[in-house]
Amino acid sequence: MTGIDRRVFSLKVREVNVVSAPMGPDSPQGCSQIIKVSIEAIFARLQSLADEVRRFWEAREEAQCRPVSRDLAQLRPRIDALLLQTESCVGAGVVLQPGTLADRQLYMEWRRQVGEGKLLSLSLNLDESSANCFHYQDKPWFRVPRDHGTCTVAGPYVDLYCTGVYALTFSLPIVANGRFIGVAGVDLPMRDFERQLARHLMRLPQEALLVSAEGRVVASNTADWTVGDLVGRLPADPGCTVLSLGEQAANWSLICLPESGSLAA
């Protein structure tokens, strides 16, 4: 275990070329670096799916034909592979910008894991004339990549529609010929992901929280702050050290609390 972590860590030290501050996994810098690398690895896999969709799309457009929903079925093996390769992933797929396809207004090619290695397509109500239509355009995992062109992590949130559990959705934009055509995403249940993150945080000597861009605790090494809490103005407290994981890690940050732990909620 330690051996593997050290390898990842030393690799990253060379990459970011940090020469000063001690960067062991038991330092805030080292810890945030390890977490940053694992988040970036998820996005790197998603990007390769997005690239494949882009190539497929551009080839179609070059042939002067507008893709239809049926065409997306070809992506299934690729999506399934991504789902099965991503640790503890329960859902993955591509969700299209309304009006992009020739035959359907809203469409998604989303696969979910229903049993050990058993994958099924998620069927949601995407009929706009229906009162219960699932309008995904408003969901943060769709809206943020569309409006800002960046990758994002939505949640943690109670996912009623796909996983039925407390989960995170990682997503990034798919751009073909300079035009936004949709997002590629994966669902990761917090149950497994928090365990990995908390393990990293436990190596720190001080109390620390991993916080999403919207200020929600994703993992912590103290019971005073738990998953799902909002940190509010805590990052502005002069006693706290805030390390941003950067845009490529969805602007998550590591907040180290003062030694006393007196700021507990």
Residues that bind other proteins (CB under 8 A): 114-115, 118, 120, 123-127, 130-134, 140, 156-158, 160-161, 164-166, 214, 216, 227-230
Nearer to other proteins, 156 or 185 (CB): 156
Nearer to other proteins, 159 or 207 (CB): 159
Residue 176 host element (H or E): strand 166-176
CB 172 within 8 A of CB 46: yes
Minimum CB–partner distance for residue 134 and other proteins (Å): 5
Residues 6+ apart with CB under 8 A from 13: 23, 33
Nearer to other proteins, 23 or 126 (CB): 126
> Token pair of 25, please?
């996994």
Residue 140 host element (H or E): helix 140-148
CB 228 within 8 A of CB 179: no
Minimum CB–partner distance for residue 130 and other proteins (Å): 5
Minimum CB–partner distance for residue 112 and other proteins (Å): 9
Query: Quick one: which of 111, 124, 39 has its CA closest to 82?
Result: 111
Nearer to other proteins, 25 or 228 (CB): 228
Residues 234, 264: Cα–Cα separation, whole Å:
10
Nearer to other proteins, 140 or 246 (CB): 140
Minimum CB–partner distance for residue 60 and other proteins (Å): 27
Nearer to other proteins, 125 or 248 (CB): 125
Minimum CB–partner distance for residue 257 and other proteins (Å): 19
Minimum CB–partner distance for residue 260 and other proteins (Å): 23
> Token pair of 75, please?
């992506």
Indicate the DSSP class of residue 101.
S
Please, how many CA atoms are within 13 Å of residue 171, restricted to the half-sphere of its CB?
Answer: 30
Residues 265, 263: Cα–Cα separation, whole Å:
6
Residues 87, 113: Cα–Cα separation, whole Å:
12
